[in-house]
Amino acid sequence: MPRKKDSSPKVHVVDTEYGQVLLNEADGAYLHLNATAALIKSRLDAGDDTDAIVRALVDEYDVDADTARRDVEAFCRALDEKGLR
């Protein structure tokens, strides 16, 4: 499986047939990402702000902006809690 480094030197991103897995090699924390979460993470890594990510989710999926914003904010909190951002 292709492996690529994330923006954080201790976090690796591994593509799988089911999405992606983030792994913090420093403490072993990991998080499985479905396609939606992988899109959010790739946009974060590209430097997009929350508003741009929300627009991308609204355009890509059948979701309203308020729900998308809550999901983006919750995902960012989860990344931060696990040291994966």
- Structural domain tally of the chain? 1
Cα 10 to Cα 2, 14, 33, 75, 81, distances in angstroms: 17, 13, 18, 19, 15
Q: What is the DSSP letter of 29?
A: -
Instruction: Give tens-digit pLDDT for 19-56.
Output: 899 988 888 888 899 999 999 999 999 999 999 999 99
Q: What is the model's pLDDT at position 3?
A: 37
Rounded to two decimals, what is the model's pTM? 0.79
Place of tokens 């999405």: 19
> Phi and psi (nearest 5°) for 71?
-65, -40
Domain holding 64, by residue range, is: 3-81
